[in-house]
Amino acid sequence: MAVRILSGKAIADQIKSEVAAEIADLHRKYGFTPCLVAVRVGEDPASEVYVSSKVKTAGEVGLISEHIHLPKDTSEAELARIVVELNTRGDVDGILVQLPLPKQINERRILELIDPVKDVDGFHPVNAGRLMQGYESLVPCTPAGVIEILKRSNIDIGGKHAVVVGRSNIVGKPMAMLLLHENATVTICHSRTRDLPAVTRQADILVAAIGRAGFIRGEHIGEGATVIDVGINNVSDKDEARSLFADEDIEKRLATIAKRGFTLVGDVNPREAVERAANFTPVPGGVGLLTVAMLMKNTVKAANLRRGK
């Protein structure tokens, strides 16, 4: 069976094009442009890359964006004051506080301070509760992106058995809820699941979001399944890379390790997955690209919800 590689880039480009058209339409009809504010604390290199990507994409689709960068010794009280101020600003439609935050700051308290209507990451308990109950809400971007990949790739969800490996509040749990809302039968697995391969092999749709490089192997995948790899992990060991990547891909991966010190791999062993899956999302080039696109879509949705449109 030939595996179909599901391109995150093509779908992300479609979504960004749709968002750009909607932003232009809002400006033409109602005279406003949605605004996204990203708040970053400290000098975490990954956070810098993520926020830069979000701000850059916002500019590409026509959003107004602001980047507030605070020093790593910023107090929780100061960050809370900034979040509350952004809540009150009428021109701000979306607020995201980039995680992780420095250890002196309680992440949960800060996320709960964000106005749920401006919570474009979809992490606020109010939005989590609305998602659980099937109400209109702002949904975490990565799980929402997975649904877009499935739908735009013409992969049926209704009536299928979906297995989600991972139970985080950011991906695993909302992913399960979104699949359930699309009429899938959903199983959630995690580190304490007994005989994990026996459960995951039953999946028509297998979503891996466990945070362990190459953890899902061929024995976990049923013949002809759709495998969605949400993980993003760094692999620096060349022997480990050889065990993960197909022969035609390995030289490129080894060159990347030599240049950067690491290469990216998801939670699925791609060498083994392509032997059994019918559809597969690569890393990089898969789900990760959808996350930023869905953030743009959420910002426009937040702007419309705030204005009753």
Residues belonging to the active site: 54, 98, 121
Under 8 Å between Cβ of 211 and 201? no
Can the peptide bond before residue 45 be classed as cis, meaning omega within 30 degrees of 0? no
Query: Which residues, other chains included, contact 128 with Cβ-Cβ below 8 Å and sequence gap of 6+?
Result: 122, 169, 173, 174
* Structure-token pair, residue 138: 């702002």
C-alpha to C-alpha distances, 163 to 61, 82, 122, 308, nearest whole angstrom: 34, 40, 22, 36
**Which residue in 267, 207, 204 sits closest to 233, CA to CA?**
267
Angle, CA 57 vertex, CA 56 and CA 60 arms, to 5°? 95
- CA–CA separation, 185 and 72 (whole Å): 44
Name residue 187's beta-bridge partners. 163
Distance of CA 173 to the CA centre of its chain: 13
Q: Which residue type occupies 133?
A: Q
Say whether 160 sits in a helix, a strand or coil.
coil
Query: Which residues, other chains included, contact 76 with Cβ-Cβ below 8 Å and sequence gap of 6+?
Result: 104, 105, 106, 109, 110
Residues 228, 16, 46, 299: is their CA dihedral positive or negative? negative
- CA–CA separation, 299 and 64 (whole Å): 10
Can the peptide bond before residue 100 be classed as cis, meaning omega within 30 degrees of 0? yes
